[in-house]
Amino acid sequence: MVLKRRKRHTLLRAAAEVVNAANAVRPLGRDGYVTLPVFAFGWPTGEAAPVVVGASMLDALRRGLRGDFRSPRGRIALALTVIAWGLMGFVYRRSMTSQDFFEAPLRQTLGDDYAEIAAEERRRRRGGVLRTSWARHRYVRKNDIVRYGPHRANVADVWHRADLPRDGKAPVLLQVPGGAWAIGMRRPQAYPLMTHMTERGWICVSMAYRVSPRNTWPAHIIDVKRAIAWVKENIAEYGGDPDFVAITGGSAGGHLTALAALTPNEPQWQPGFEDADTSVVAAVPIYGRYDWFSREGTGRAEFIAILQRYIVKKRFSENRHVYLDASPITKVRSDAPPFFVLHGTDDSIIPVIEGREFADALDQKSDNTVVYAEIPHAQHAFDFFGSPHGHYTATAVAHFLDWVKAKRG
């Protein structure tokens, strides 16, 4: 009886591996709440395929030595498992060859200046994006964990190289974490990017903020504004340049990044620090939410329901102005700072159309540079791991921000 159950489980496990790998090749669902498990399984499988395949191979070896693949059903299970490995190998190979989708929009928009910056980057980059799991321990010391505001969640890590001169005026990047406005963990988000930027002499500030449902909108954006103000007032003590502060973030962090960049010095979102300067020199939102008010389209009804119940906690029908005000796409302006917007075409959490429409609205209204990179087959949170997508994101963002810095002189 135990042997029969084991053989049955072996086949079911193999079938599940094939389905999971197929989901990484192309999301199996793009509408409604099914997108959550589609993302939860497809994201790590796609971005960490070598690790997943390695673990599966070791497990297959263990089961093979145990005799699970000796029967006809077991041989079918083994064949399915090998197919799953092949699919994940295809996914990884596809991401390995995706760099031009990050860089081509920069070449096209920035022109010859980009080519010079990219060449300089190749000469001096030391690598190390794949070593990001322990990167924080190299660049954040005990005294680099700071409190930027009065609330318990108002903490941040200041990433910097130990050899940076205190009067060096290093450029600064503020990292705003994602997490559906309900997590907001600064660790370990954007480690590939912050590792890359810190190694190149930047200072990165990785912040946390108050989250829902414990806290209600607009607590989140107020904390981001407060963090910008803190950076401008204090970063010189770490060798940073308060006059060159850029901002980035993914998912909910992408929303907050875009909104903060488009609403500098907005009094309603700076209670108690209305006079503080909260402008930024550039913004890099990645797979963000830019529209809190449209009700038609894939996943929109579910998203508005979540906002009403857990984030804003106000009925949409009676408070539409609150949702409009919180939408970066309604805040595009002619004097917006330079933007680099990135989104993946296989994003099952935030459809790629949001990135397209936001970048297009910015491009039509802003007098400044707008670059939009759409990454084929990339799932949500594609820059989280030290994967090819994570590496290419870090390099492309560095190129863009170096260009902004060079333009400012």
Q: Give dist(CA 282, CA 301) in Å, integer.
A: 32
Residues 138, 26 share a domain: no
Residues 184, 40 share a domain: no
Residues 195, 331 share a domain: yes
Q: At what angle do helices 35-47 and 49-66 cross, to 10 degrees?
A: 90
Neighbours of 366 (CB within 10 A): 18
251 among known catalytic residues? yes
Residues 155, 50 share a domain: no
Q: Which domain holds residue 391?
A: 98-291+327-408
294 among known catalytic residues? no
C-alpha distances (whole Å) from 287 to each of 101, 117, 377, 384 are 15, 25, 13, 12
Catalytically annotated residue among 291, 347, 383, 402: 347
Residue 314 domain flag: no
Residue 231 domain flag: yes
Neighbours of 334 (CB within 10 A): 8
Residue-wise pLDDT tens digits, 152-187: 999 999 999 999 998 889 999 999 999 999 998 888
Residue 84 domain flag: yes
- What is the pLDDT of the chain when averaged over all its residues? 92
Residues 60, 161 share a domain: no
Asked whether the predicted pLDDT for residue 2 surpasses 80, the reply is no
347 among known catalytic residues? yes
Residues 86, 110 share a domain: no
CATH number for the domain that contains residue 130: 3.40.50.1820
Catalytically annotated residue among 251, 327, 366, 387: 251
Mean pLDDT across the stretch 29-50?
A: 87
Q: Give dist(CA 97, CA 388) in Å, integer.
A: 8
Asked whether the predicted pLDDT for residue 397 surpasses 80, the reply is yes
- On whether the pTM is more than 0.85, the answer is yes
Total number of domains in the chain: 2
Residue 296 domain flag: no
* Among 64, 95, 126, residue at a domain's last position: 95
Residues 280, 246 share a domain: yes
The closest alpha carbon to 336, from 290, 374, 283, belongs to 283
Catalytically annotated residue among 380, 389, 391, 399: 380
**Token pair of 227, please?**
């963090």
* Among 95, 121, 141, residue at a domain's last position: 95
Compute the half-sphere exposure of residue 102: CA atoms within 13 Å on the CB side of its CA. 24
Residues 382, 342 share a domain: yes
Residues 104, 79 share a domain: no
C-alpha distances (whole Å) from 83 to each of 16, 49, 92, 346, 399 are 12, 14, 14, 22, 38
Share of the chain above pLDDT 90, in %: 77
Asked whether the predicted pLDDT for residue 277 surpasses 80, the reply is yes
